[in-house]
Amino acid sequence: MKTSAFSRALELATLAARVGFREVRSGSIKSRLEQAVLIVNSLSQLKGAAMKAGQLLSLDLNHYFPPEAIEILSQLQKSAVAQPFEEMEVLLREELGEKKLSELESLSRTPLGIASIGQVHQARFQGRDIVFKLQYQGVADSIDSDLKILKTIASSFCKLTSRRMDLEPLFQEFRTILIQEVDYRQEAKFQKEYHSLMAGITSQGGFSYVVPEVIDELSTERVLGMSFEEGVSLRSWLATKPSKDQRQSLAIAVLDLYFHEFFQWGLVQTDPNWANFLINDSQSTLVLLDFGATRRYPREFIQNYVRLLELAASEDCVALKEHAIALGLIDSRESALAHQAFEALLQTAIRPFFSNQLGSRYFDFSDQKHHLNSQKAAKALAEVLVYSPPPYSLIFLHRKLAGVYSILKSLEAQIDVSEYWQNMLEYSS
């Protein structure tokens, strides 16, 4: 990863010059895709905010751009590469000071985890096992320049597909979450809040929740120290072939958690990465990690969201259209076909809540038919939209929801979710 401000600026300036040359050639699909290749190749070397934002862009605009374009952007979803331990040691010395660094024992040279903006190392401090989340140098400083380049490529693809979308609100949302994610002091505040909210809560499936304790004296804007919590990753846990009852209990814990977060608290950890969960079978606990992408949702927002789902369930097309436009979810200039596709997508999304009306009390989250129908509905809507980009106010919430669905699907969960619909109505009242 390029870390010095000069080397990064030089790389970006060179990229801008090369892209500018491509711009003056032609507006053909080929030249646009060549431009995208240049951008992605450069940003994948820069890592940090570029990788994070590029991942968001390729996922959230998946159905909006040609498959060739998404294939290029998806290169930014490649796994991050660990930075040398010596760089992380320098960071700890700069942030914590020599004295605190000398108090650490058994500081691991190999990271426990690697991400686009930092990595995690284990250690011992004052007789207890701890972990450090350590941020790569230069990440925070790169956000605006990286987003500017990614906005260029997204706008280019919009022109390519004859769309007239205002992407500014979407990129402002990206910027907000990225700036928040590189501020570990803010993350520590969210983590403490979750620690307090989750205390004493047990899911309907019997799992309780654990949030690592933040260690203030080992935390700064770029270093986050916390207690080490025992557990295995979701993938490792699934590899042990847990029983149907075990999988069901964990699925209910994940679903309960989402309903607490959004509908009850209005505080959602929106990163859907499976690595943000650890399972401790011996204690029946679900360990929750990584609160950098936590978002608050006001009560009015939650009520409007629930009202949208209620209107979709009632099949009141006129009221649904008016409400969706008022919330900025779809542009009023869109065609009647687009509004119909929007309604169809919502009705597909809420279908699990009404499984009992379709002859089954339980909804099967491993049902491939429902998964394919959801994908088709999303694609059908994206193909006919001209003015409406992905709704920025929902983009991170729905990424989390998609992550929850993915976990429940992998657990082959069969759950009576009708009661969750009632809980949703009660929480939002």
**27 and 150 in one domain?**
yes
**Nearest-CA neighbor of 61 among 192, 175, 151?**
151
The last residue of one of the domains, among 266, 296, 326, is 296
**249 and 351 in one domain?**
no
Confidence of residue 241 (pLDDT cuts 50, 70, 90): very high
Confidence of residue 390 (pLDDT cuts 50, 70, 90): confident
**151 and 66 in one domain?**
yes
**272 and 303 in one domain?**
no
For residues 237-243, give the mean pLDDT. Answer: 95
User: For residue 255, what are the contacts with CB-CB under 8 A and spacing of at least 6?
Assistant: 404, 408, 413, 415, 417, 420
**Nearest-CA neighbor of 58 among 46, 44, 45?**
44
**47 and 172 in one domain?**
yes
CB 209 within 8 A of CB 283: no
For residues 397-401, give the mean pLDDT. Answer: 91
Q: CA 107 to CA 345: how far, in whole Å?
A: 49
Query: Minimum mean pLDDT among 25-34, 177-186, 315-324: which range?
Result: 25-34
**306 and 290 in one domain?**
no
Burial 139-172 (b: 16+ CB within 10 A, else e): bbbbbebbbebbbbbbebbbebbebebebeebbe
Whether 265 has a pLDDT exceeding 50, the answer reads yes
Q: Phi and psi of 231, rounded to 5°?
A: 165, 165
CB 204 within 8 A of CB 166: no
Residues 341-359: tens digit of each pLDDT: 999 999 999 988 887 655 5
**196 and 166 in one domain?**
no
CATH code for the domain in which residue 228 is found:
1.10.510
In this predicted structure, what is the pLDDT of residue 153?
A: 74
**100 and 10 in one domain?**
no
Q: Which residue has the higher pLDDT, 428 or 330?
A: 330
**224 and 354 in one domain?**
no
Confidence of residue 12 (pLDDT cuts 50, 70, 90): very low
Q: CA 85 to CA 113: how far, in whole Å?
A: 13
Whether 92 has a pLDDT exceeding 50, the answer reads yes
The two structure tokens encoding residue 415: 């759950």
Whether 257 has a pLDDT exceeding 60, the answer reads yes
Q: Phi and psi of 131, rounded to 5°?
A: -135, 155
- What is the residue whose two structure tokens read 């149907």? 244
Residues 191-215: tens digit of each pLDDT: 999 999 999 899 998 999 999 999 9
**331 and 199 in one domain?**
no
**115 and 10 in one domain?**
no
In this predicted structure, what is the pLDDT of residue 320?
A: 96
**117 and 201 in one domain?**
no
CB 334 within 8 A of CB 302: no
Could you tell me the residue range of the domain that residue 58 belongs to? 5-78+139-181
pTM: 0.86
The amino acid at residue 7 is: S
The last residue of one of the domains, among 135, 167, 202, is 135
Number of domains in the chain: 4
The last residue of one of the domains, among 265, 296, 327, is 296
Residues 149-193: tens digit of each pLDDT: 778 777 877 777 778 888 899 889 989 999 999 999 999 999 999
